[in-house]
Amino acid sequence: MSQSEPSTAKRKLSLLAACLGFVVVILDVSVVNVATDALSKDFGGSLSGLEWVINGYTLTFAAFLLSTGALGDRFDPKRIYQVGFALFAVASFACGASTTLVALIISRVIQGLGAAMIVPSSLSIVNKSFPDATERAKAVSLWAAAGGLALALGPVVGGVLIDQLGWRSIFFVNVPIAIIGIWLTQVNAPGTVRDPQAPRRSFDVLGQVLAVVALGTFTAAIIEANGKGWGSSVVVTCLAVFVVATIAFLVAEKKSSDPMLPLHLFGRKAFTSTSLIGVLVNFAFYGLIFVFSLFFQTAWSYSPIVAGLAFLPMTATIMIANLACGPLARRYGARTVLMTGSTLAAVGYLATLPAVNSGSYVAIIAQFLVAGFGIGLVVPAMTNAMLSAVDSGNIGIASGVLNASRQLGGLIGVAVMGLIVGHADADTFTSGLQSALGWAVAALVLCILLSAFGIHRATKAKATTAPTPAKTPVPAK
* 108, 145 Cβ separation under 8 angstroms: no
Selection from 124, 174, 184 nearest residue 150 by Cα: 174
Concatenated DSSP letters for 239-285? HHHHHHHHHHHHHHHHH-SS-SS-GGGGGSHHHHHHHHHHHHHHHHH
Query: To 10 degrees, what angle do helices 174-188 and 4-30 make?
Result: 150
Cα dist. 170→86, 93, 240, 454 in Å? 17, 10, 37, 40
For 140, residues 6+ apart whose C-beta sits below 8 A from its C-beta are: 123, 126, 127, 464, 466, 468
Cα dist. 261→103, 393, 421, 472 in Å? 32, 14, 34, 21
Concatenated DSSP letters for 369-435? HHHHHHHHHHHHHHHHHHHHTS-GGGHHHHHHHHHHHHHHHHHHHHHHHHHHHTT--TTTHHHHHHH
The residues pairing with 192 across neighbouring beta strands, listed in sequence order, are 475
Three-point CA angle 127, 150, 32, nearest 5° = 125
User: Helix, strand, or coil here: 193?
Assistant: strand
* 323-344 residues labelled b (16+ CB within 10 A) or e (exposed): eebbebbbeebbbbbbbbbbbb
Neighbours of 236 (CB within 10 A): 14
DSSP 192: E
pLDDT at 460: 47
CA atoms within 13 A on the CB side of 70: 17
96 sits in which H/E element? helix 77-96
Cα–Cα distance measured from residue 239 to residue 231, given in angstroms and rounded to the nearest whole number: 11
Cα–Cα distance measured from residue 337 to residue 136, given in angstroms and rounded to the nearest whole number: 25
* 460, 334 Cβ separation under 8 angstroms: yes
Please report, in angstroms and rounded to a whole number, the separation of the first and last CA atoms in the chain.
Answer: 21
* 401, 261 Cβ separation under 8 angstroms: yes
Cα–Cα distance measured from residue 180 to residue 153, given in angstroms and rounded to the nearest whole number: 20
Cα dist. 283→122, 290, 395, 411, 416 in Å? 25, 11, 24, 7, 9
Neighbours of 301 (CB within 10 A): 11
Selection from 277, 14, 250, 282 nearest residue 125 by Cα: 14
DSSP 231: T
> One-letter amino acid identity for 354?
P
* 461, 330 Cβ separation under 8 angstroms: yes
pLDDT one digit per residue (tens) for the chain, 477 residues? 444 444 788 888 888 988 899 889 888 877 887 787 788 888 876 666 777 888 788 888 877 877 776 676 667 788 889 999 999 999 999 999 998 888 999 999 999 999 988 887 887 788 778 777 667 767 766 777 777 778 777 778 888 888 888 889 999 999 999 999 999 988 888 876 555 555 566 677 888 889 888 888 887 887 777 677 778 888 899 999 999 999 999 999 888 877 877 888 888 888 899 999 999 999 999 889 888 888 888 888 888 788 878 888 888 888 788 778 778 877 888 889 899 999 999 999 999 998 888 888 999 999 999 999 999 888 878 877 876 777 755 666 776 788 788 878 887 888 788 878 765 566 677 888 889 999 999 999 999 999 999 887 654 444 444 443 333 333 333
